[in-house]
Amino acid sequence: MSESMSWSVRTEQFCRKLNLKIPILLAPMAGACPVSLSSAVAREGGLGACGVLLMQPSAIVDWAKQFQSESDGLFQMNNWIPDPAPVRDEIHEQQIRDFLANWHPDSGSARPMLATPDFEEQCEAMLQVQPAAISSIMGVYPRPFVKRMKKAGTYWLATATTVEEAKLAVSMGADAVVAQGFEAGGHRGTYAAGDAQGAAGGLISILPAIVDSVNVPVVATGGIADGRGIAAAITLGASAVQIGTGFLRTPEAGIPSAWSDAIGTTMPNHTILTRAFSGRLGRSIATDYAKSAESVGAPEPAPYPIQRGLTGSMTGEARRDNDLAKMQAWTGQSGFLSSAEPAGQLINRLWEDAQKLLP
Ligand SMILES: Cc1cc2nc3c(=O)[nH]c(=O)nc-3n(C[C@H](O)[C@H](O)[C@H](O)COP(=O)(O)O)c2cc1C
């Protein structure tokens, strides 16, 4: 919308709506946005984030309490919209276990842990903590929940990877669309899991396509990690940007050092889109495990969350052991641009650099 409006009016309107000082949102990253990082971003006037995918309702409430004790800034809560239950195939799962045993001996006999927190209970907890915004990925919230968000006055940020998804989200009541480019670290937000590989638009194409197709603000995400990327996204019509990988090397993110160090030297072609960690397509560093799982002869990954259950003991141990080869090292294509400076200093510098490039 409103690409004819000057960039400063567009970004100011968005900031005013959400009470922000800087049009930069920390990307929600399940397992990688601790309160320390979110509060550092929010203290400077950006939007903090909490990815609740793996969190029980009590942990969601505790996260918000801790955030409020560390910052009077604002945050978004984010959840994945669940896929239909996957079809189980014991023979195929055993083939995957046999392959994984080459990487982690326990995997040969592991039964996948498929229990995930209850989606509806998580949604209740998200509403209860009264975030400035609630975001969605992999689909749209069910109508009754959208109604409750509206009643509570919660701003709905809906991730979309295509024009069709963006239009669907807006028709359901989304207040803004987060246009996720193919460059993004972590999972692709494509609504139908099977379409993820094909729906792989780069941000420079999908951003103006979505801006021209919907009448709500558009937030750009995917591969943005310096002032040039922010200025480019705003020039293409974005009202704000959302940055994930670009914040992962800050001390407040607290990720394992092997992952953090590798992000800083990872060129775009050294990342890989793979289903080998979770069963849903996502972009990680092209680690030894990811490359091997994508090679000819390796078994096709099982659907989400079965694959995640099968790889869980390997990736969990790798995180504890700081072993990049087997770690779930989600990283976007612009990891090489990311900086290890404190998050508060980084967000201010990024916005200053971007403004110097904007007319
Ligand atoms: C470690 C990691 C975890 C992520 N988890 C989530 C998540 O739980 N929910 C979500 O909507 N997006 C998630 N994402 C995607 C981000 O929200 C965002 O789209 C992406 O980081 C943008 O690309 P960038 O990493 O190049 O900045 C994750 C990304 C990363 C790197």
CATH number for the domain spanning 194: value is 3.20.20.70
* Number of separate domains in the chain: 1
Which of 25, 88, 28, 26 has the alpha carbon at shortest distance from 54?
A: 28
Rounded Cα–Cα distance for residues 280 and 277 (Å): 8
User: Angle 7-18/227-235 helices, nearest 10 degrees?
Assistant: 100
Q: What is the mean pLDDT of residues 198-214?
A: 94
pLDDT computed for residue 147 by the predictor:
97
C-alpha torsion sign, points 101, 97, 83, 191? positive
Q: How far is the CA of 28 from the centre of ligand 1 (A)?
A: 6
Residue 104 domain-assigned?
Answer: yes
Residue 156 domain-assigned?
Answer: yes
pLDDT computed for residue 199 by the predictor:
80
Which of 145, 139, 194, 206 has the alpha carbon at shortest distance from 169?
A: 139
Residue 342 domain boundaries: 7-357
- The C-alpha angle 347, 246, 289, rounded to 5 degrees, equals 160
Hey, what are 147's tokens? 């109604």
Which of 85, 79, 160, 156 has the alpha carbon at shortest distance from 125?
A: 79
Closest residue by CA, ligand 1 atom 8: 30
pLDDT band per the 50, 70, 90 thresholds, residue 1: low
User: Angle 35-43/57-70 helices, nearest 10 degrees?
Assistant: 40
Mutate to test the pocket of ligand 1, among 330, 346, 350 (most ligand atoms within 8 A of CB): 330
What are 77's strand-pairing partners?
50, 134
Residue 58 domain-assigned?
Answer: yes
Q: How far is the CA of 186 from the centre of ligand 1 (A)?
A: 5
Spell out which residues line ligand 1, taking CB within 6 angstroms: 27-30, 32, 51, 53, 78, 137, 159, 180, 183-187, 221-224, 243-246, 330, 332, 334
What would the 3-class secondary structure string for 265-282 be? HCCHHHEEEECCCCCCCE
Percent of the chain with pLDDT over 70: 97
Rounded Cα–Cα distance for residues 70 and 35 (Å): 8
Residue 2 domain-assigned?
Answer: no
Residue 351 domain-assigned?
Answer: yes
pLDDT computed for residue 157 by the predictor:
98
C-alpha torsion sign, points 272, 275, 276, 282? positive
Residue 303 domain-assigned?
Answer: yes
Residue 180 domain-assigned?
Answer: yes
pLDDT in tens, 137-157: 999 999 999 999 999 999 999
pLDDT band per the 50, 70, 90 thresholds, residue 77: very high
pLDDT computed for residue 197 by the predictor:
82
The tokens 């045993």 sit on which residue?
101
Residue 1 domain-assigned?
Answer: no
Which of 225, 181, 177 has the alpha carbon at shortest distance from 202?
A: 181
Q: How far is the CA of 212 from the centre of ligand 1 (A)?
A: 24
Mutate to test the pocket of ligand 1, among 187, 190, 271 (most ligand atoms within 8 A of CB): 187
pLDDT band per the 50, 70, 90 thresholds, residue 221: very high
- Coil vs helix vs strand at 162: coil
